[in-house]
Amino acid sequence: MNTMVHPHPVKLRAPFYSSVQGAELHRYFEPEFTNLFQQDLQRHRIGSAGQNQWKQDDAFSGFDQRPVLRLPMHKSFYLVSCEIVCERPGKPALDPQQIASAGYVIRRLGAKGEQSWMLEDDQALGWQSTPTGVRDPDVNRRCCNLGLNGKAKVKLRGAAPAQPALTYTGEQTHPMHAIKSYDTQGKCHTVVYGYLSLGGTYLLRQPVGKSSKGQASPFTADSLNNFSQTAAAQLPWPFGFKLPGNQSTVNQTWTYDCARPINKALPSAAFFELLKHLVNRYHLGEANVADNAALQGWAEKQHFYLETVKNKLSPETFNDVTRTNFTSVASPGNLYTWLETHFAKNPNALVNYIAAQEQRLDENKSLELIPGLGSYSLYITPADAQELRTLLGQRVLDQVMGKVKEIPLPKFGQQREDIYQIIPFVRVRNACGGEEIVWGDMQARSEIFRVAAPFDPSASRPSLIQMPSLADLRKGMAQGVSMLTPPDTFSLLNALNLKKGASEEVVPKGDIPQLGIQWICSFSLPVITLVAMIVLMIMISLLNIIFFWLPWVRICLPFPSIKKE
């Protein structure tokens, strides 16, 4: 008769050399940190007095006394370790042969509760609240072979059997490796350790199977409200709510200038601001800009009208009801066709007109006539202005949402609520040939930590860059950095005058002949390094007049030559 032997329970706990409860964190400054950890473990150097002093030294967040872990760009590396024991008297070490795999997950302990770094199709979704519990985080291990006919669900120790569709958490896991070690008393221990990955980014995207209509905004309610107010305050009335001068409120009275923003080709100050907005920011009128469809529809409904004494057209008589009475004196074109025509002829024509008018305004001169309108005027109604304000608000919001979806957002934040903790887990083989996943309990979790910002001065470590000697500038040829330069760019660079510098004379007039010849320009690395250093020192000295920051940005100390044996 065959007897099936059930394995005894196992448990994750703090390593034997640790002085803290739970998984231990180790900091290294050398790239060979894995070998150093193994050497320290075998030579009983881990757990010595003062080894964890870095946790107190690196508590520089300003929010609390929790340690702040630096990023790999700071030339700092971290390992996490814990111990696996059998739940038997004496807590003997688990045989590493019984470990199928081990790993850990990082949880964010924010104001919304515990969150996991979720993945979908190997792409990060960001931090999300999820009822992970003791379920398996690996989709490939939801079902494993127990030595029976077919496959069965993973047995989750200490938990009721879950439905197959709920056994996968989807959160990111990081591997850990098992190693045997002996303490000073000769007792054997099974330690698992792994590299603590502190990098990672994600893009805002909609998870598969969820409707985009119900997608929550990635912005907070307060910031979104402030954003809407700021966007509306970029244009004057009636196209926005920009405060004029030192006034604290906007006069929202509908005036003649509002109804007739272009009077016989002469734009009002408000319409000129709108024109800059439409041309410089959104390129309304340029072909193949799909995001401008709504603004294009609005501009196509705005016609130019020819005022005469007979047709009685005036700001007093033009409104939503009488608009159709003046179709006979309306221009065949509209605001959009006028913009489209100028973009098609010369995209720089509108830009040059706007630049010239801005210069006139700086000189306290009046605006000039808009080209191509003759004696036509533009008329709008209060409803047109209200619609435009709504469209502009939605357009800038869509533009920001598009940027957010393109910009990689960092995995770890640095706000007060951004604190993190590590939870280890292990998969052990049972007598049936299958696997059982065991999660670390509250006593096996690491201490709570924070993550430093990339340019946090407290996290930065010294970096040594060898500056070239002046004698190196004339050595050898200009080699080291080569740039492939198009013909027009090369013509501009080649026209630079050593005495006049980058004056207007070097800017090419008209089209530069394209001969199909590209140029490779090579530069000397010592010269580039020295020029960058000189420009940096000039800028620091100039800005020091304003910020008085020189004692904080540069420290020069004598440094002896390092002895080479």
pLDDT, position 490 = 80
Whether 442 has a pLDDT exceeding 70, the answer reads: yes
User: Sorting pLDDT into bands at 50, 70 and 90, what band is 48?
Assistant: low
Q: What's the average model confidence in pLDDT over 532-553?
A: 80
Residue 210, Cβ neighbours under 10 Å: how many?
9
**What's the full length of the chain, in residues?**
565
**Is-contact 296 290, C-beta < 8 A?**
no
Instruction: State residue 364's pLDDT score.
Output: 92
Contact 87, 9 (CB under 8 A): yes
Q: What is the mean pLDDT of the chain?
A: 82
Stronger pLDDT, 420 or 287, i.e. the higher one: 420
pLDDT-derived band of residue 272, with 50, 70 and 90 as boundaries? very high
Q: Is 81 within 8 Å of 191 (Cβ atoms)? A: yes
Distance CA 359, CA 272 (A): 13
Q: Which residues pair with 263 in a beta bridge?
A: 266
Q: Look up residue 173 and give its two tokens.
A: 């896991």
Decide: residue 197, CB within 10 A, 0-12 exposed, 13-18 middle, 19+ buried: middle
> Which pLDDT belongs to residue 149?
35
Residue 194 has a pLDDT of 96
Inform me whether the pLDDT recorded for 538 exceeds 50: yes
pLDDT above 70: residue 30:
yes
pLDDT over threshold 80, residue 271: yes
CA-based nearest residue to 488, from 465, 460, 464, 519: 519
Assign 472 a pLDDT band (cuts: 50, 70, 90): confident
**Nearest residue to 40 (alpha-carbon basis) of 20, 21, 15:** 15
- Of 179, 208, 234, nearest in space to 40 by CA: 179
Tens of pLDDT, residues 352-393 = 889 999 999 999 999 999 988 889 999 999 999 999 999 999
Burial of 540 (0-12, 13-18, 19+ CB in 10 A): middle
Cα maximum dimension of the chain: 114
Neighbouring residues of 190: CB distance < 8 A, sequence distance ≥ 6:
83, 84, 85, 93, 94, 95, 96, 99, 178, 179, 180, 181
Write down the residue that tokens 């923003």 correspond to: 261
Strand 174-182 versus strand 99-110 pairing type:
antiparallel
Residue 549 has pLDDT above 50, yes or no: yes
Q: Which helix (H) or strand (E) holds 467?
A: none
Give 6 or 276, the one with higher predicted confidence.
276
Question: Residue 235's Cα: distance from chain center in Å?
Answer: 28
Look at the block and give the residue holding tokens 């025509």.
341
Provide the pLDDT for residue 476.
Answer: 58
Residue 37 has pLDDT above 50, yes or no: yes
Residue 409, strand partner residues: 202
DSSP 366: P
In the block, which residue shows the tokens 């609005």? Answer: 298
Neighbours of 218 (CB within 10 A): 13
> Is residue 148's pLDDT more than 60?
no
CA proximity to 51, closest of 26, 69, 74, 30: 26
Q: How confident is the model at residue 66 (pLDDT cuts 50, 70, 90)?
A: very high
What residue type is assigned to position 271 of the chain? F
Helices and strands in the chain: count of H runs, count of E runs? 12, 24
Question: Per mean pLDDT, which range of 320-334, 457-471, 504-518, 530-544 is the poorest?
Answer: 504-518
d(CA 291, CA 340): 15
Among residues 40, 141, 42, the alpha carbon closest in space to that of 426 is found at: 141
Scan for tokens 């109804």, then name that residue: 259
Please say whether the dihedral angle defined by the alpha carbons of residues 398, 403, 408 and 411, taken in this order, is positive or negative: negative
pLDDT at residue 50, rounded to an integer = 67
Q: DSSP of 278-343, one letter per residue?
A: IIIIT-TTSTT-GGGHHHHHHHHT-EEEE--TTTT--TTT-STTTGGGGGGGEEEEEHHHHHHHHH
Q: How far apart are CA 240 and CA 231, in angstroms?
A: 8
Which of 405, 406, 411, 408 shows the shortest CA–CA distance to 453? 411
Under a CB-based contact definition with an 8 Å cutoff, are residues 414 and 453 in contact? Answer: yes
DSSP 157-170: TTSPPPPGGGSB--
In a 10 Å sphere around its CB, with 0-12 CB exposed, 13-18 middle and 19+ buried, how is residue 4 labelled?
exposed
Q: Would you kindly state where each structural domain of the chain is located, as residue ranges?
A: 10-203+411-451, 222-407, 470-550
Q: Which residue has the tokens 């402030």?
A: 226
| Listed ranges 158-167, 308-317, 506-515; the one with the highest mean pLDDT | 308-317
Q: Report which of residues 505 and 227 the model is more confident about.
A: 227
Q: How far apart are the first and last CA of the chain?
A: 72
> What is the SS3 string spanning 516-541?
CCCEEEEEEHHHHHHHHHHHHHHHHH
| CA dist., res. 490 & res. 492, Å (int) | 5
Rg of the chain over Cα atoms, rounded to whole angstroms, equals: 34
pTM: 0.73
**Nearest CA to 22 among 11, 9, 33, 32?**
11
So what's the pLDDT on residue 541?
Answer: 84
